[in-house]
Structure 1
Amino acid sequence: MVGARRSNDWGFPRWRSYGSEQAATAQRTCDRHLCDEPGLCPAPKASNSPDRWYFCQKHAAEYNSKWDYFEGLDKAEAAERAANEQRDNSGYAEASHYGWAGSGDGSRSSDEMRALAVLELEADVEFEAIKKAFRAKAKLVHPDVKPGDKEAATQFQAIQVAYEVLKQAEDRREWKG
């Protein structure tokens, strides 16, 4: 075996650095126009399509905020899908009861989001702003202000229920906090 050269990969310690023979891997960039961040978050280009966009975290959050999971479904199908998801995720709700789970990113529940929509508020609003919005809307449609107006009474009830949902959520946060 004259002229045979022994590999540097034998024994311990290795005689060359780890990964020294590996070529650099190209990293995907975000598919959003003019964004140079790494595109690590895949997102479907269309429903039931294997094609994917690859976004940075910021643009993935923007993309997902506009995604309508129930688009194209009638009310019965949407309700069935929502019920199946709630059933499948019931373990998380139970864990939340024991304080094992949290929102993680500070987001609100779907009930809270619907209540905020009734009050025409953003998701990240403080509770003081919720109080102000409730009072302002309640003054406009209160049964004492508009006696005999059934539509105003219905709106007032919706506003009241929305405020109660948000108040209870705030109380839970203060109690856990």
Structure 2
Amino acid sequence: MVRARRSNDWGFPRWRGYGASREAANVRLCDRHGCEEPGDCPAPKAPNSPEKWYFCQKHAAEYNSKWDYFAGLEEEEAKQRAKAEANENAGYAESAHYGWAGSGDGSRSQDELRALDVLGLEPDADFDTVKKAWRNRAKEVHPDVKPGDQEAAKQFQAYQVAYDVLRQAEERRVWKG
């Protein structure tokens, strides 16, 4: 009598990896002639067509660099579609600075970003730029320059608070680093 052999998949611990299987995995190759890389980036064969090419990342980038997504559309429709795509992708464009090193890499707090916004500066502005912007804006609305103007006094106060927030954050960075 022949005994049935147990598989390695029973019990705990599992003796074989979870991703391991006995069947060969199908890997789609890049549709570019002569390329042996896996084709995991779909690209449309024609505008508004469900058929797709499957390229490796290098060839997909090459293909997409020459692709006109607005070909065949009227000017007004192309503008509307471009605006809709810009609205959809605004979060990606806004967060693009987090991918790079520097002061705009996500190391600024929400208060610092609001202070930079009050001064009209970009999130990656250095402290010298902050100081220049603060001086220029404060000179325009200083109570000595515009006495009795309540709106100017409020703006001056906002600029002052924004500068204080950014100055204290810069001092913390200097002391840490």
Structure 2 length as normaliser, TM-score? 0.47
Q: Which has the larger radius of gyration?
A: 2
Structure 1 length as normaliser, TM-score? 0.47
